[in-house]
Amino acid sequence: MNAALSASDLKYGYRTNTVIEGFDLDVKPGEWLGIVGPNGSGKSTVLRMLARLIQPHHGTVAMYGECISGMSTKAIAKKLTMLSQTQEAALDITVRELVRRGRNPHLNWYEECRGEHEKVVDWALQSTKMTELQHRSLLALSGGERQRAWLAMCMAQSPEILLLDEPTTYLDIAHQLELMELIRGLNKEQSLTVVMVLHDLNQAARYCDRIVAIKDGAVVREGRPSEVFQPQFFREVFGIEAKIHDDDGIPFYLPCGIACEREG
Amino acid sequence: MTSLASKSNVQLIKDPRYIRNIGLLVGGIVLLLAAVLVGLMAGAISLPAAEVWTALVRDSDSEARQIVWNLRLPRVLTGMLAGACLATSGAFLQGVFRNPLADPGIIGVSSGGGLAAVVIMILFPAQIAYLPMAAFFGALGAAVVVYILAWKGGASPLRLILAGVAVNSLLGAGMTTLMILNSEKVQAVLPWMSGSLNGRSWPHFDALLPYTIVGGLASIFLIKQANLLVLGDDTAKVLGNRVETGRLLIILLSTFLAGAAISIVGMVGFVGLVVPHIVRLLAGGNYRILLPLSAIGGAALVVMADTAARSWFDPIEFPVGILLALLGAPFFLYLLRKGLGK
């Protein structure tokens, strides 16, 4: 079976500074994959290459076995979408209007979003619990609601793969969990493939099927959360001492201090 | 934050903007019609509405017919088209640049058109008939140069703005140099530089109309594109949009519209900046309503300002561009302060 997304031997760099080198990744259909790593490790760069927002200098990204560098932007957008950390803030449009724009990849240039497409919009609003807020302006929403509105736009694309770049960074803990639960629902019920860059390692362990840790532009650890969460992992990847605990089979860590022999 | 509405309530919540937007459109059209009517009535000789109507519908040799049909109507209509073109152009550019300060001047339209016009007026006064064409191609040329200078694997809004600033100051320096070296001819240039509808008549209207129609039709097809670009480059790409192509098309169309307008009425400023701004405050950021309302608003504003410019200061004819700047600048400062208060 083809991987939903696969990257092989990716390389990317700015001038002399190599951000990513020799990067391989396979994402199975329906899987929730978390990408973690310290600041500057190249997590976001990887995500942007997977969405073809930037072109790797070497290597290829394939979606269901087809190389995305040769696909049209629209063909990619029919199956893959991405939600970033922050969005254009000063937009005075209604939630519904934003979500309707998510239908763009499925419309011809002369077509408007109506009929069947409006039903998808209804569904996207419903699945992100935004139906009641659909006629509000984006300006009148709280941070958590706004992030859900943008997620609704992504869902209106009827994607098979959802990429997320630290979508919970600016949210309080309740809104973080609310968003994660929403995505869990979509992942389970729609068998949506999710690739998420995450800062909060405990959340990664709780929600992700598999964790990939990146350091200095390469994969250093990979596996189920319980396999990855070892004191050695925190020492090597993040340079911290951590205690690992278990909560009904889900591991979580407590940071205890900076590791002694920390490099760089 | 929101109370939990029951299912039946959810059905009742309709888009409140729909009604409001229809109201704004009707209001805009009424405002424009009123501006046109006042524009036909007011002037050195004021005519009552009934007389204006008679003069419009009945061909005669009367003085009223002369004034209304041959002087005021073409001038009002030319102002309408120019205002609509400039405001549409500004509305598009503010979206493409995702910058509320963008206007047709930002991509070199004013300075390119201005330099070309000054060259004709000062160096080749015999070729004055070609002034609109020169100004139009000057504007287009400057915008193309700005775009090429900004290109680096893509033309980001920031680089476009920076390239625009550089090209604008270069062309502006050229214009000033020409005027200083030929100071005796500057008198003829000044009204054009500040934008004026003085003496605009049917030939001017006939020249501008096809550009407005072509540009207006093209605008309709670019509404969807503009609505995607305002979401940000990354989001537009993720939604399957070809960002650079779309941005180039919108910049070309905006240049075309603004270039056509200034080639006929001179460098009328502030319409392209202020009108889309006000409309955005009233109607929100959806281009499907923002664009038509901006066009109507721009048309009404230029007609009103020109009517004021020629009747308030009678017997002096004030260039409409100066009046617009005099009224537009304080209003813009008011908007800025209001924005800061938020």
pLDDT greater than 80 at residue A38 = yes
One domain, residues A174 and A237: yes
Q: Read off the pLDDT band of B14 (50, 70, 90).
A: low
One domain, residues A71 and A175: yes
One domain, residues A119 and A246: no
Residues whose CB is less than 8 angstroms from the CB of residue A170 and which lie 6 or more positions away in sequence, other chains included:
A85, A86, A143
Q: Two tokens at B301?
A: 């504003």
Contact A102 B224 (CB under 8 A): no
Q: Can you give the CATH number for the domain in which A166 is found?
A: 3.40.50.300
What are the beta bridge partners of residue A221?
A213
The pLDDT tens digits of the residues spanning A138-186 come to 999 988 899 999 999 999 999 999 999 998 888 899 999 999 999 999 9
One domain, residues A73 and A171: yes
Residue A197 lies in a domain: yes
Long-range contact list for B144-152, CB < 8 A, 24+ apart?
A: B145/B108, B145/B112, B146/B107, B146/B108, B147/B107, B147/B248, B147/B251
Cα dist from A200 to A153, A169, A197, whole Å: 25, 9, 9
One domain, residues A59 and A110: no
Q: Read off the pLDDT band of A76 (50, 70, 90).
A: very high
Please give the helix or strand (H or E) that residue A95 lies within, else none.
helix A95-101
One domain, residues A120 and A237: no
Q: Which residue of B has its CA nearest to A107?
A: B240
Q: Mean per-residue pLDDT for A122-135? A: 93
Residue A214 lies in a domain: yes
Contact B231 A133 (CB under 8 A): no
One domain, residues A153 and A208: no
Q: How many degrees, rounded to 5, is the angle at CA B324 between CA B321 and CA B330?
A: 140
Q: Which residue of A has its CA nearest to B242?
A: A73
The pLDDT tens digits of the residues spanning B265-279 come to 988 888 998 899 889
Residue A84 lies in a domain: no
Residue A198 lies in a domain: yes
Q: Mean per-residue pLDDT for A107-135? A: 91
Residue A117 lies in a domain: yes
Residue A164 lies in a domain: yes
One domain, residues A96 and A52: no
pLDDT greater than 80 at residue B190 = yes
Residue A51 lies in a domain: yes
Mean predicted lDDT score pLDDT of chain B:
88
One domain, residues A247 and A184: yes
pLDDT greater than 80 at residue B96 = yes
One domain, residues A185 and A66: yes
Q: Read off the pLDDT band of B328 (50, 70, 90).
A: confident
Q: Tell me what pLDDT residue A145 has.
A: 92
> How much is the ipTM here?
0.90
Q: Chain A residues with CB inside 8 Å of B98's CB?
A: 88
Contact B285 A93 (CB under 8 A): yes
Domain tally for chain A? Answer: 2
Residue where a domain terminates, one of A143, A158, A173: A158
SS3 state at B188? helix
Residue where a domain terminates, one of A158, A186, A215: A158
Range B50-82 burial, b when 16+ CB lie within 10 A, else e: ebbebbeeeeeeeebbebbbebbbbbbbbbbbb
Q: Read off the pLDDT band of B214 (50, 70, 90).
A: very high
Please give the helix or strand (H or E) that residue B293 lies within, else none.
helix B287-311
One domain, residues A177 and A141: no
Q: Read off the pLDDT band of B2 (50, 70, 90).
A: very low
Residue where a domain terminates, one of A97, A131, A158: A158
One domain, residues A140 and A174: no
- Which range marks the domain in which residue A117 is found? 89-158
Q: Tell me what pLDDT residue B15 has.
A: 72
What is the residue type of A81? T
pLDDT above 70 covers what percent of chain A? 98
Q: Tell me what pLDDT residue A72 has.
A: 93
Contact B14 A135 (CB under 8 A): yes
Nearest to A88 among B5, B98, B238 (CB): B98
Q: Tell me what pLDDT residue A1 has.
A: 57
Q: Which residue of A has its CA nearest to B283?
A: A92
Q: Mean per-residue pLDDT for B108-132? A: 89
Q: Tell me what pLDDT residue B339 has.
A: 58
Q: Chain A residues with CB inside 8 Å of B4's CB?
A: 132
Residue A124 lies in a domain: yes
Q: Two tokens at A242?
A: 């951590």
